[in-house]
Chain A
């Protein structure tokens, strides 16, 4: 039992900010998962695979376009779009025929997709680790309160709120968002007023998967791009969605904040047993609010 005794105020702030930048990734990925879960009622186990695909595509596009910063930015833009296209093909080609089936079938289907995507990634990129450098402007670290803070994490800190804002705008202010919310509550009623529910589902699915791809592309410069990154993220994303409230995008934000911040603060407070913290937080939330913090759409 050795608690870290030398916790300073600066250290706390630093650790908090680092935790927030990790939260950004968790939020982007789990909000996509939550969106699909809320509207389509599909627990998309393959969501993590799309995240992995986004990271690999980002790597490939960036290295194809050369080492310039422009290549990196184009990759961040293009990789999630390619993921979205793939998911559109999957939805139109396969998923849309299965909506009437029971949940277990859909779950099994997404599980199969996860295995297939995993093997595709292995076949295309092989089993070696890949690494992508952040663009020149975001390489290295800044000094914040006398502690080094990676510049790229600062960039992530700015992206997080932007994505949240865009999601808010999409779900609250646009027509498709309103229809999607209505379809989540009662899809038969939406169909009855003459709206093509099938296409609403397709667009929501594609947006959800786009977010997975975006998360993967954004995370690529901070870690190694390898097989297995799909499993890690899907576990965390599901936990976040569950504590936030199934299908609630703001629940995903809240869940990601709880998960990401307890993880990073735990590392500072008790580094030897830091693994426990985020999971303990999940348990505590579920003991008091078994249906999640915010209202579930289910």
Chain B
């Protein structure tokens, strides 16, 4: 019995030693802590971000890193849950001694971690959370948005839709924060640009709704001119599939924010309907610049697939991090935050700037329409219109008034 106990203690001790030796990192490394959803459906987006990030990081480190140090990262799975994300963030700050945090596809997690980042004075780069509150009402010195947000989507969609002849709209979407935020943003901006638009009705379904056919048939019976579909990641794919089966898009045009994105269209293959109007910040085939071509080539070589918008976020986030440390001149969280605010870098979609006022990255948006194309076993976007970043950024005055409230 005593021998067994001694054995047990020995095992526990050696295990603890192992753990502690893993977490004590070599000097001369900049450590980035990544919290994201690596299990369940949202993980395909998170993994795209991670792969783009790794691609850029390998290059940076091969060139000797920044300020003489290599950039390394550790990942934590938040399972799309706020409490797990927050615990992981605390653990990364306390035990892993990370200099900066990044990640979180779930906006609720983004906002919770942002709060912690403010308290701990650790810069936090949100890669996929799309709530406009991140850099809007709840913005602060240490939080940065590397993604577009619902305000920007709404503005871009309104600009694009106002050029089309639709008057009577129907709104349908996922009954949660993101769905309503997108729908409200699109509708409010559209109403401002084109005051004669009418809202005929709305349908809201629960997140994870498996079958959209009954929703589509009920919308069709009201005969709107166009439908604004406000679904998040998981809802887009089954919605488009049901839209194809019912012939929805051939009768009523639909707008869906991520409807033309690779992450939505690739899994559907040729089951996606043609004629879906969608906005996206990135297509691997557009813009046709040498920088984009190189990125697509390198990404495809490394991972055997085309890069999505998530992969692009990963890429420029890594480059922003490297450039900010270079500008700061040393590994210091405070200096990093100051350096990143207002910084400009080159990217496959042109020059990108983190706006100094609210730390929101200024991304151009593209509006396109889905179509089958030779050479691809999935649909791509055509008739692409670019909406420049400065036209769709949330107004600084607005943010000032919200923050004062």
Q: Which residues does A use to contact B, with CB under 8 Å?
A: 2, 4, 6-8, 10-11, 14-15, 18-19, 21-22, 122, 127-134, 139-141, 147-150, 152-153, 219, 222-224, 226-229, 231-233, 263-264, 267-268, 271-275
Q: Give Cα A219 to B210, complex, Å.
A: 9
B205 touches A274 (CB 8 A): yes
With contacts A127-B47, A152-B245 known, what are 13 further pairs, Cβ within 8 A? A6-B223, A11-B221, A19-B214, A22-B211, A131-B237, A140-B245, A149-B246, A222-B241, A223-B238, A224-B268, A271-B201, A274-B205, A275-B204
Interchain CB contact (< 8 A) of B44 among A128, A134, A141:
A128
Q: Give Cα A2 to B44, complex, Å.
A: 37
Instruction: Name B202-221 residues within 8 Å CB distance of A.
Output: 202-206, 208, 210-211, 213-215, 217-221
Q: Provided the pairs A130-B267, A140-B245, A147-B220 are in contact, do residues A267 and B203 lie with their beta carbons within 8 angstroms?
A: yes
Interchain CB contact (< 8 A) of A22 among B214, B237, B271:
B214
A8 touches B221 (CB 8 A): yes
Q: Give Cα A128 to B205, complex, Å.
A: 22
What does the 1/0 interface line of B232-247 toward A look like (CB < 8 Å)?
0010011001100111
Q: Give Cα A224 to B242, complex, Å.
A: 10
Q: Give Cα A268 to B201, complex, Å.
A: 11
Main secondary structure of the interface of B (DSSP, over half): helix
Q: Give Cα A223 to B234, complex, Å.
A: 11
B203 touches A274 (CB 8 A): yes
Q: Provided the pairs A141-B245, A223-B238 are in contact, do residues A131 and B217 lie with their beta carbons within 8 angstroms?
A: no
Q: List chain B residues, Cβ under 8 A from A147.
A: 217, 220-221
Q: List chain A residues, Cβ under 8 A from B68.
A: none
A129 touches B41 (CB 8 A): yes
Q: Give Cα A273 to B203, complex, Å.
A: 8
Closest 5 CB pairs of A and B: A271-B203, A11-B221, A129-B267, A264-B214, A150-B245
The answer to whether B403 has its CB under 8 Å from any CB of chain A is no
Q: Give Cα A42 to B302, complex, Å.
A: 48
Closest beta carbon of chain B to A252's beta carbon, Å: 18
Q: List chain A residues, Cβ under 8 A from B41.
A: 127, 129, 226-228
Q: Which residues does B use to contact A, with CB under 8 Å?
A: 39-41, 43-44, 47, 172, 175, 201-206, 208, 210-211, 213-215, 217-223, 234, 237-238, 241-242, 245-248, 251, 267-271
Q: Give Cα A240 to B237, complex, Å.
A: 27
Q: Give Cα A115 to B247, complex, Å.
A: 37
- What are 15 pairs between A and B in contact, CB < 8 Å? A2-B201, A18-B214, A21-B213, A127-B41, A128-B267, A131-B269, A148-B220, A148-B247, A150-B242, A219-B210, A224-B267, A226-B237, A271-B172, A274-B215, A275-B205
Closest beta carbon of chain A to B250's beta carbon, Å: 9
B217 touches A148 (CB 8 A): yes
B267 touches A222 (CB 8 A): no
B202 touches A2 (CB 8 A): yes
